[in-house]
Amino acid sequence: MREPQKICSDLVALKSENPPGDTSGPIKYIRDFLDDRGIGSKVFCTPGGRCNLVTTGEPKPFMFCGHVDVVPALEEGWTHPPFSGTIDGGYVWGRGSSDMKGGVAAILSACDALVEAGKALPATLAFVCDEETGGENGVRYLLEQDVLAPCDCLIAEPSPALHPCIGQKGLCRLELRFTGTPGHGSLYPLIGVSAVMEAMHLLEYIQGLHEQPFPFSDNLREIIRTSSQVFSEEFKIDKGNEILERVTFNPGVISGGEKVNIVAQRCDLDLEMRIPLGCDIRELIMGIMEHAPHASIVKETLHEPSLTDPSCDFVSLVCREVEAVQGRPAFPIFQWAASDARHLRAAGFRVIEYGPGELATLHATNERVRVAALEKATEIYLRIMRAYSSRSSAS
């Protein structure tokens, strides 16, 4: 069996920063890996080398999914160069090692072990580009092309070791343009309307939104409570409940003004909010625009919160196999972030996210993944595939 840490190291060394989004290198590596083991696949590309791979054959009741694009990395501040894939001190180091080439490596290693044992692969494999910028050329493209059929799906995104993720908050991204009334800077605020200050006033309102909790149904209360405890421990914060129960926000990009002595006529703001269960996104946007009379929405991206039924057999199976390998009780959690899971759930898939990774290093310098975590994830994935093989044999 090819060791997952070696596969992870190889994949990290194949640059696939998004932007620009060229994933042809890792996809070729994966295709060659599968070809060598007699597993057929097909590559689907859009312009710019944005490549995806899906295994061929009859539709399966189960699918592994992983993205091979990574967020960009500067060279400064790293213990090991970000695209070295160095294996040192019990870790694989580099951009994408946790998010999520480590998970991809564990999938491939598990498949290798299954093939070595003379077993047929009971799963479809889908490796995609463009998760880091919304999935337009990745999972969403494959769904539009009818390449993927709804089934149980495990995405190998990094997760807490004992907690498969079965749902996630919604996503609201707004590109806002503020228009002011220019004038001589020396006369403001008596004369003129500053587009920059209008953006600032809106952000004050957005900050207040975080103070508002939203209701959720009683049957989700326990999973929200336990998920909040997990996040408090993972991120070492006191208010883990606010992550899931409230709107979290990030004014990621703001740009405006023409000159220091001119009242700003224009300001652009790119705002991202993560939406809790119980929050109506359209009502949220209406409230925002009521507090931004000088703004218009240039572009919006909206996704409702999504959830896989925590009582379903798929969730029970994954938690059981996690417990068997980790040696401690496992239970599912609701997640704070967004991923390709939202697109797949909307298309009828039952989706769980579970994979190796150091959550504190995601998108950060010195991103890394434990070799031990890669090995355990490989074993868990192998056990899940064997369970699906047994189901197929029984039927």
- CA diameter of the chain: 81
Residue 327 has pLDDT above 80, yes or no: yes
**Mean confidence (pLDDT) of the chain:** 95
pLDDT given for residue 241 in this prediction: 78
pTM here?
0.91
Tell me, what DSSP letter sits at residue 76? Answer: T
Q: Which of 187-191, 233-237, 260-264, 318-322 has the lowest mean pLDDT?
A: 233-237
CA distance 257 to 183: 12
User: Residue 10's pLDDT is what?
Assistant: 98
- What's the pLDDT band for 395 if we cut at 50, 70, 90? low
Q: Quick one: which H or E segment has residue 351?
A: strand 350-353
Could you read off the pLDDT of 200-246 as tens digits, one per residue?
A: 999 999 999 999 888 877 778 888 889 988 888 887 887 777 888 89
Q: How many residues does the chain have?
A: 395
Q: Which residues contact 218 (CB under 8 A, 6 or more apart)?
A: none
Q: Give residue 394's pLDDT.
A: 65
Cα–Cα distance measured from residue 53 to residue 305, given in angstroms and rounded to the nearest whole number? 27
Model confidence pLDDT, tens digit, residues 99-112: 999 999 999 999 99
For the chain, how many helices (H) and strands (E)?
11, 16
Say if 4-168+305-394 and 170-212+247-303 have the same CATH topology: no
**Helix 313-326, helix 371-394: angle, nearest 10:** 130
Residues 12, 95: Cα–Cα separation, whole Å: 6
pLDDT at position 251 is: 96
Query: How far, CA to CA in Å, does 126 sit from each of 41, 301, 352, 371?
Result: 9, 24, 15, 23
393 band by pLDDT with thresholds 50, 70 and 90: low
CATH number of 4-168+305-394: 3.40.630.10
Architecture of domain 170-212+247-303: 2-Layer Sandwich (3.30)
**Whether the Cβ atoms of residue 159 and residue 353 lie closer than 8 Å to each other:** yes
pLDDT tens digits, one per residue of 271-317: 999 999 889 999 999 999 999 999 999 999 999 999 999 999 999 99
Spell out the domain ranges in the chain: 4-168+305-394, 170-212+247-303, 213-244
Q: Give the SS3 label for residue 89.
A: coil
Answer whether residue 43 shows pLDDT above 80.
yes
> pLDDT, tens digit, for every residue of 59-75?
899 999 999 999 999 99
Given a cut of 80, whether residue 84 has pLDDT beyond it is yes
